[in-house]
Amino acid sequence: MDLSEEEIEELAAVIPDLLGAYERIDELSASDPPVRYPDRESGSEPTADEDPLNAVIRTCTVEGSGSGVLEEYDVGLKDNVSLAGVEMTFGSDVMSGYVPEIDATIVTRMLDEGARITSKLNMENLAFSGSGEMSAYGHVLNPHDRDHLAGGSSSGSAAAVADGTVDVSIGGDQAGSIRIPAAWCGVVGHKPTHGLVPYTGILGLGRSFDHTGPLARSVRDCARVLEAIAGKDPLDPRQGAVPTQAYADAVASDPDPSDLTVGVLEEGFGHEQSEPGVDGTVEEALDDLADAGATVTEVSVPMHLDGLPIWNGIANEGTTATINGEGIGHFGNGYYDTDLMAAFAEARRENADRYPPTIKLVATLGEYLAEEYHSHYYAKAQNLSLDLASAYDETLADVDVLAMPTTPQTAHERIPDPSRLQILERAVNMLPNTAPFDVTGHPAISIPAGTSDGLPVGLMFVGERFDDATVLQAGRALEQRVE
């Protein structure tokens, strides 16, 4: 705007009266979600002997109700999940020293179901990478071969489950960040339907593609966690109607493979980055499932190959908007963590030079696209994501689940001092099968399917939105074949 002197004088006369409302807001106290289990300590950093994979940032003990579906379970939290009184780092030194005053909704729900929170887990710096080498607290080692990485961005969430540090963990998934490390570390990782699990009290990248969900050594344990955390939260502005299912019961007894119809997605194989050993291991696992009685048929969704470009169109500007919105944004009714917003706002203004290369790239590109093209590509990508979702839905009308490799390759080999360009390339070269389902919101699970050259390979099942139970059942049917 170019204001005239007259307009400036008029506004200057009116604004002081309006500011009185903000002074009154300062005088009022807003309600925060109550901390239901306040008996806790701030925790401590583990030693290298206690944490050989560098999966844990902080150990702690928060006891829950003592009974429920997660009774006797030790749970680790990705370090973007708020746990009151325990420092939260986001895997970054941009916001070091921030201590939440609330528990994330899913934390309260797990504690209500008998869980014990025992650790905050290492993660990629501000969550924007799939490799596992970008945390400000050091990279997370692969539990199967320490010359390789655990994957990201929920690096510690997968490694801590794989080596038994925790029974189950919570990860976050914006482009595959639950499923990638699950595949590379040889554990189960479930990305729930978008909106099924509340995100209140969790720092994300973009409200339309943020997901949080469980990692575990078995499908049944993933189902137990989902049973505890799924459902409507009035504090979460992203949720609409949230139909839930009996997830633990769905896999309590072993499913009959002959009841399962699997659509093997043609476009999920043979990517530029695909390793023949990965595609072959997944194909062999599906053959075993067919031998057990499942109907396994090839299907095609050509638009799947456009899923990653569509994700890019949404994620770059969406993440930039979240940064500009002080980590929370302006998204509608619900709870806004003002302490987190204040800490993020101060940190990004003082420490932006410490952003990891991926965030510097995204913020630069996102600002350019918004300013130069008026967010046209973001809006068009959001519209295209609806078409992509419909294409998957049309195919899922004829099969129970879609199947494909979780990632086209096994875990990245660890490089001692990667360049910034290497970091940027290795951060996103595993996304062609995972990222599309973050923007369409379909539930997806990664199941260990075997190994290639000694490293784990993940097989991904994808189902209809809010039918996570069927996805879990398909995962359990495969798990029975490879146990």
DSSP 62-108: EE--S-STTTT-EEEEETTB--TTS---TTSSTTTT---SS--HHHH
Mean residue pLDDT of the chain comes to 97
Provide the pLDDT confidence category of residue 315 given band limits of 50, 70 and 90: very high
Give the pLDDT score at 53: 98
Is residue 332 pLDDT above 90, yes or no? no
Catalytic residue, candidates 78, 129, 155, 452: 78
DSSP label at residue 28: S
More confident residue, 257 or 42: 257
Pairing of strands 116-121, 188-191: unpaired
Q: What is the pLDDT of residue 129?
A: 97
Residues 6+ apart with CB under 8 A from 176: 130, 191, 406, 407, 430, 431, 433, 434, 435, 438
pLDDT band at 176 (very low <50, low <70, confident <90, very high): very high
Residue 352's pLDDT band, with cuts at 50, 70 and 90, is very high
**Is the pLDDT assigned to residue 366 strictly greater than 80?**
yes
At 440-464, the pLDDT tens digits run 999 999 999 999 999 999 999 999 9
103: its two tokens: 């528990």
Q: Please give the torsion angle defined by the CA atoms of residues 5, 11, 14 and 17, in that order, rounded to the nearest 10 degrees.
A: -120
What's the CA gap between 406 and 269, in Å, rounded?
Answer: 10
DSSP code of 253? S
Average pLDDT over residues 211-227: 98
Which position among 92, 135, 153, 446 bears the catalytic label?
A: 153
pLDDT band at 350 (very low <50, low <70, confident <90, very high): very high
Backbone angles phi, psi at 478, to 5 degrees: -70, -40
Query: Is a pLDDT exceeding 80 seen at residue 483?
Result: no
Helix residue spans in 260-356 (DSSP H): 276-291, 307-324, 338-350
Q: What pLDDT does 96 receive?
A: 84
Which DSSP letter does residue 189 get? Answer: E
Residues 284 and 433: their CA atoms lie apart, in Å, by 19
Q: For the segment 138-153, what is each residue's pLDDT rounded down to a tens digit?
A: 999 999 999 999 999 9
pLDDT of residue 482: 87
Whose tokens are 């482009």? That residue is: 175
Q: Of all residues in the chain, what percent carry a pLDDT higher than 90?
A: 97
Q: Which residue bears the tokens 């195919």?
A: 395
Give the pLDDT band of residue 41 (cuts 50, 70, 90): confident
**Is 153 labeled as catalytic in the residue annotation?**
yes
Q: What is the CATH number of domain 56-482?
A: 3.90.1300.10
The answer, yes or no, to whether residue 467 has pLDDT greater than 80, is yes
- Could you say which of 177, 208, 218, 385 is catalytic? 177
CA atoms of 37 and 175, how far apart (whole Å): 33
**Cut 0.75: pTM above it:** yes
* For residue 80, pLDDT beyond 80: yes
Question: Which helix H or strand E contains 378, and what residues bound it?
Answer: helix 376-396
Cα end-to-end span (Å), the chain: 65
